[in-house]
Chains A and B, each alone.
Chain A
Amino acid sequence: MNADERTTLESWLDFYRTTLALKCDGLTEPQLREASAPPSSLTLLGLVRHLAAVERFWFRRVLVQEDAPTLFSSDPDASSANSGFDLDESATYEDARRIWQAEIEHARKNCASRALEDTGTYRGEPVTLRWIYTHMTAEYARHCGQADLIRERIDGSTGV
């Protein structure tokens, strides 16, 4: 609890990344596709896909201005705001997890060579890596809260 700023930011983001994975562990494919908390249509599979898209958007498209198309969207230039939530028949957790983990690895590599003060560009304005880490932690924390409720409705689990 006395780590430097960078370690603190990275550790909290990793904490929430693994919390989402933990919320999915031990469930079958139909359970991962289950919108268990109506009227919300959110699913655990949709959350994993969405956060894969969000990882790509912030750590690739914004931070390093990489021309990577938006995941799970018919519009390659769309923002990641609602990407991944809608599931078609072919969407599987195995695929989503693999893509998500690959995006996380890509994000870590892009961040490793940059300082917290380094900037990308978002809507024409500079945005620091520090801001992106903070935003991503907030993004994950919100969705992990949703995942917690969805998981409890599926099988009663309410882990950390």
Chain B
Amino acid sequence: MANDSTAQDRQLLHDYSRETRDPYVQRLLAELLGHTGRTGFERTAGAGGGNTRDLGQGQYAISYAYAPDMSRTDHLAVMVHELTHVAVGQAYDSRMRNFPVPPLSAAEESRVRDETPGREEDFQNAGLRRTDARRRDAFVDLVVGNVQRLLDELRGSGLPAGRQRAIRTKLTDHMRARPYHEYDGVLSHVLTWADLDGVDRSSAFYRSLTAMVAQAADWRAAGEITLPRRRGGLFRRMGRALGRALGISRRRQRR
């Protein structure tokens, strides 16, 4: 079934890339289709979303819950989402973590393997301790600020109410809760939903979403996330503005 699924799913993605008229989707799919040759697709029974495993040697396996009544929109969105994890992993050499960090030394690899054998996420996360906390915080600020902007603008997107609810859940439960793992993937997922469900392309939601998608693609192309370095940067100001708007006090960092 896996081989059949892989062929069918690759075809679905190719068909979608020829069909869509959205330039942001076209650019995204052009990037992602370049990774289908290194990726196998497997459909599993049951509910839930998808999962992507790094098999090593530049190969990946995507599995996702599939039911015969699954809509084409949801089917494509989950594949685009998971393939984005592959693109992220390749762009940042990061075991699919959505934040580039230096690779672990052999000794660190060994230590992580001994501490928590079989927990792939620990290999993803162990490298984060090697990056500056201010840089990590700047990324999280950016993600949280972007989620809030999209949530604020979602109502004017022209999307059906059910899709808006699904997007709200995807943005909060996935992107905001797991920024180091889900940022690019959820952006791709929401963009696919928006395209196929007829988002209002003049809406603030679409403009913000596509700006974020384009920025994330630029980062992947560069192999580096470029964050504001100065404390007064745009996204930090957005984070502060969000905090003020929501009445959240943020502790001063001791440095």
Contact = CB atoms under 8 A, between A and B. Distances in A.
A82 interface: no
B172 to A, nearest CB: 5
B191 interface: no
A22 B136 contact: no
Contacts, number: 80
B221 interface: no
B253 A27 contact: no
A18 B125 CA distance: 18
Contacts of B243: 160
B237 interface: no
A15 B245 CA distance: 14
- For chain B, which range describes its interface: under 10, 10 to 19, 20 to 34, or 35 or more residues? 35 or more
A13 to B, nearest CB: 11
5 contacts: A15-B172, A26-B125, A28-B122, A160-B242, A160-B243
A18 B169 CA distance: 11
Nearest to B131: A155
A21 interface: yes
Contact of A22 (B122, B140, B248, B253): B140
Contacts of A92: 119
A21 B178 contact: yes
Contacts of B144: 22, 159-160
B173 interface: yes
Contacts of B140: 22, 157, 159-160
A31 B99 CA distance: 18
B141 A148 contact: no
Interface string A77-101: 0000000000000001010000001
Interface string A1-37: 1000000000000110110011001111111000000
A156 B255 CA distance: 10
B81 interface: no
A158 B116 contact: no
Interface string A121-160: 0000000000000000000000000001000000111111
Contacts of B99: 26
Interface string A27-51: 1111100000000000000000000
Contact of B133 (A29, A157, A160): A157
Contact of B250 (A26, A28, A155, A160): A160
Given A21-B177, A21-B178, A28-B112, A157 B137 contact: yes
Contacts of A159: 136-137, 140-141, 144
B15 interface: no
Interface string B101-144: 00000000000100110010110011011000100110011001
A158 B137 contact: yes
B179 interface: yes
Contacts of B177: 17-18, 21-22, 25
Given A1-B245, A14-B172, A157-B140, A25 B181 contact: yes
A160 B248 contact: yes
B18 interface: no
Contacts of A156: 133
Interface in B198-255: 239, 242-243, 245-246, 248, 250-251, 253
A14 B97 CA distance: 24
A18 B177 CA distance: 5
B176 interface: yes
